[in-house]
Amino acid sequence: MSGRAIPSDFVKSVLQNGAGRYVCQLQRLTFKFCKSSGGSRGTRDYIEKHLIDFSRENPGTAVYIQPRRHHTARVVAEFLNGNTVVKNINCLNPDDIMKWLEHLRTRSGIEIVRLRKSQHTDSPSIQGVWTPWTNKDSSMNISDYTDKKLLEMKRDELTATEKLLELAKNLREKDMKKTT
């Protein structure tokens, strides 16, 4: 698939979730399965052995069970932002169902897309991008690059080596004054 066919977007967070208290975005899980179908056996085993533990660990998520005669097993996940994800769990064992539920529990509900950038801000800078020439004197813009004045490195402070040399020079001068 080409890059134009895959939807892309910037990094998003649901209402800055996690900046304060984390709120699980999974609102509701609905298990739909057949009581007699062999493909729903893993789903029935998961419901019997693990669903109560999942419900206790995630009190903010409502869990519903809907037996449907002659239907394939699936789980419908509904998120706080209104999005719904339907996952076919037919012929899966309870461990795989547990992994998929963990995946759905930790999702934000936002569609999975290709990221355009790894960072994004809602209020970009109006000052523009910083360059080495941002705060320079404008007369330097029209001068030649071989100008000696441009090649000089300007320092406000002494380097550590220069400070040590100056301290050594001062100590020698003090020693000379004491001996004379």
Q: Does 92 lie in the same domain as 32?
A: yes
DSSP bridge partners of 9 = 115
Q: Does 14 lie in the same domain as 102?
A: yes
Tokens 């050594």 belong to residue = 168
Give which of 95, 63, 51, 78 is closest to 87, Cα–Cα.
Answer: 78
Evaluate whether residue 41 is within a structural domain. Answer: yes
Q: Does 174 lie in the same domain as 106?
A: no
Mean pLDDT by 10 residues, the chain (180 residues): 77 74 91 95 96 95 96 96 95 96 92 84 79 75 70 78 94 88
Using CA atoms, how far apart are residues 18 and 132, in angstroms rounded to an integer? 37
Helix (H) or strand (E) holding 114: strand 114-115
Evaluate whether residue 15 is within a structural domain. Answer: yes
Number of domains in the chain: 2
CATH value at residue 56: 3.40.30.10
Evaluate whether residue 137 is within a structural domain. Answer: no
Q: Does 79 lie in the same domain as 159?
A: no
Q: What is the pLDDT of residue 180?
A: 74
Total count of residues recorded for the chain: 180
> ∠ at Cα 111 (88, 34), nearest 5°?
15
Evaluate whether residue 110 is within a structural domain. Answer: yes
Domain boundary, last residue among 71, 99, 115? 115
DSSP state of 105: H
Q: What is the pLDDT of residue 56?
A: 96
Range of the domain at 28: 8-115
pLDDT digit string, tens, across residues 62-101: 999 999 999 999 999 999 989 999 999 999 999 999 999 9
